[in-house]
Amino acid sequence: MPNPLQQIDFGLPSDSGGKDIGIFLPMANGGWMLSSNKPAIDGSYGLNREIALLAEDMGLDFIMAMAKWKGFGGITEHWKYALDSQMLMAALAEATSKVKVWATVHTLLQNPAVTAKMIATLDHISGGRAGLNIVTGAYKDEFDQMGAWRTDLDHDQRYDFAHEWIQAIKRLWVEESVSMDGRYFTLKDCESFPKPVQKPRPFLVCAGASKTGMQFTLEETDAIFLSGANDAAVAKNSRMAKAMAADAGKRMRTYIMVNLVMAETEQKAHAFADQIRAGFDEGALRGMLRAYGMLDAEIGKENDFIKNARSGFMTTHVIGSPQTVSERCAALVEECDLDGLMLIFPDYLKDMPVFAAEILPKLRALKSPIATLEPAHAG
Ligand SMILES: Cc1cc2nc3c(=O)[nH]c(=O)nc-3n(C[C@H](O)[C@H](O)[C@H](O)COP(=O)(O)O)c2cc1C
């Protein structure tokens, strides 16, 4: 009989083989489409609050806000107006009572002792629903503008930095006081009270896509947001993540984010997608690539990443009638062996009720065989 894999239970469907379904909140203007021809998404608090309440009513499992510090420009001024992730989730924690509230923090920008306290505070406000999405920083521009880009750290070293950062936080969440003299941080008899409500700690997630990023995510967190140029690549990454985690005796939840582009009929959905593509914002794409640290000369060369972005959709997307989208979502979850989906919609308030009525029940019926799992209840 295989050894049981360890996991912490967080009151999520995936604890017992179900699928975690959540919302990627549009807390920055424009959502996830680089287009001037789409339903307006202003990224306002009011909109995000309405979406959070709707998610709660629908019985969804989590809402998550990214962290963004500079927009991409272009005619749409994409992501110029972005609310702060942690403050937003604190307010939405108060507005809701069941849905999990996951905030994003950039490791380079926030001291671990500050983060330990802020996420513990979010856990208290929400009554034990807090989660933390750890981001090491991919967009150089965002950090450069505030003098916070570390030229002494390359991509992989930023994950080394993140290891020490999250180790400090995990200790601060359970120990009376922490002293450490690390490569990046020094804590001297450092105290953090109150401890989080969740024991041993709040939920952790990361979207490390590189080998180093994935390794970090598997070692330190409870779930990974996968990337992949197509379904086959996502499926491969999902299986690899689970196998690598299992080798370490741990169970890993695998998620993807997906934009559901729906209309009553197939034809209308594709016409809607074409309309979004027709308004493609080339300037915003260039801004996004420059923020990644790419040079204009490189932007001229069309690689897969750029070709994808040129479609107007910034992420994996599924286009069709609710019936088609439902079948595609279920197939994605099953074929890629996923534990959850983080949903994006072109028009959240219009699309979410359709999703609740016509797609969610099908996803709720999906189960993974996890008979060999035993909750570890340990960090
Ligand atoms: C679902 C998801 C959410 C992310 N959220 C953020 C974010 O809020 N801020 C950010 O700068 N990067 C964000 N990223 C980028 C990742 O943190 C990461 O840098 C990227 O996936 C590349 O992986 P790598 O760091 O291993 O190269 C996100 C990526 C995904 C897939």
CATH of 3-373, one of 3.20.20.30, 3.40.50.2000, 3.50.50.60, 3.30.390.50: 3.20.20.30
Tell me the backbone φ, ψ of residue 293, rounded to 5 degrees: 95, 15
Segment 1-23, tens digit of pLDDT? 455 788 999 999 999 999 999 99
Ligand 1 centroid, distance to 212 Cα (angstroms): 13
Q: What pLDDT score was predicted for residue 302? A: 66
Q: What pLDDT, on the 0 to 100 scale, is given for residue 369?
A: 64
Residue 297: predicted pLDDT = 61
- Beta-strand (E) ranges in the chain? 6-7, 20-24, 62-64, 100-106, 130-135, 178-181, 186-190, 203-206, 223-225, 253-262, 317-320, 340-344, 374-375
Contact residues of ligand 1, CB 6 A cut-off: 66-67, 104, 135-139, 207-210, 213, 225, 227, 257
Q: Are 159 and 212 in contact (CB under 8 A)?
A: yes
Give the pLDDT confidence of 209-260 residue by residue, as tens digits: 889 999 999 999 999 999 888 889 999 999 999 999 999 899 999 999 999 9
Q: In ligand 1, which atom is closest to the CA atom of 214?
A: 26
Mean pLDDT computed over 122-149: 94
Q: What is the pLDDT of residue 198?
A: 98
| Confidence grade of residue 372 (pLDDT, cut at 50, 70, 90) | very low
Q: How would you classify the pairing of strands 374-375 and 223-225? A: unpaired
Averaged over 310-331, what is the pLDDT? 93
Residue spans of the domains in the chain: they are 3-373
Does residue 166 have a pLDDT over 70? yes
Dist CA 136 CA 206 (whole Å): 9
- The pTM (predicted TM-score) of the whole model is 0.95
Residues 6+ apart with CB under 8 A from 27: 43, 48, 65, 66, 68, 82, 83, 85, 88
How large is the average pLDDT for residues 336-362? Answer: 97
Band (pLDDT 50/70/90 cuts) for residue 137 is confident
- Residue 91 Cα to ligand 1 midpoint, Å, equals 23
**Paired residues of 7 in beta bridges:** 375
CB 256 within 8 A of CB 13: no
The pLDDT, as a whole number, for residue 378 is: 38
